[in-house]
Structure 1
Amino acid sequence: MNIIIVDDLSPITLTYKAILLREGYEVEAFTKPLEALSYMQQNPDQFDLVLADLYMEEMNGIDIMLAAQNINPNVKTLCITGGGAYDQDTSLMQTARSVADTLAFKPIHSGQLVGMVSNLLKTTQRPAANTQTA
């Protein structure tokens, strides 16, 4: 299964990527949301889950998840937020809850991350390769 991580904080993307690589996932990590969006557009069938931070300067996680869902309707989405004052914006949090398959709050421990990703991807099945017999 292929995962895209989008968080504007490099230490977070590197940590999440290392955790998920250890679990056997294929992972692409981006600190610039527009680069992630470009990657998704160029590889529409090459990702099963998008993990996005809610608050980023270039583009918020809601917009990233909506774009991912438009590019790949079967994609699962996990939105992560750091809490704090931003999370008091109830309309934004309601939107995040309605767009994301799962909403989680930092800090997230490795076991929690792996569990959430595993649960989301249990329902994701890639189509079988088109094989023809002669």
Structure 2
Amino acid sequence: MKFKIIAVLLGFIGIMAYSCQSEEKIEFMRYYTAGQELYKTHCQNCHGQNGEGLAALIPPLTDAAYLKQHRTQLACYVKNGLKLPILVNGKAYNGQMPPATLASVEIAQVLTYIQNSFGNKAGLHNIEEVNTEVSKCE
């Protein structure tokens, strides 16, 4: 009987702790978790399991400064690919990134994951941002 009471109390405490999370935190975790799976499927083969990139061919995703400076262009890079040379950590990368066939919400999810993994901490990159950014792609 004591075990049942303790189990019910622990369950209640768990429910209360979960319900105390803010809507923003819950939304962030939904985007981040979905983005992690999308990264594994669409990005990891080139950028690496830990975002380390591939030698001189594919840039790392571990450079928070580059990601912050180019935040408003990242959705375009994912949606349309990238053919321009870029400079990351003082190193030039001239390879081409193919476009991804992802919906706007999936782009937001994978960008949320990338921008909050590999030493990066940039918060939520939501679908509204992605739609605005994609509408301005060159």
If asked which structure has higher relative contact order (CA below 8 Å, sep 6+), I would say 2
More strand by share: 1
- Assess same fold via TM > 0.5: no
Where on the TM-score scale, by shorter chain, does this alignment land: which range? under 0.3
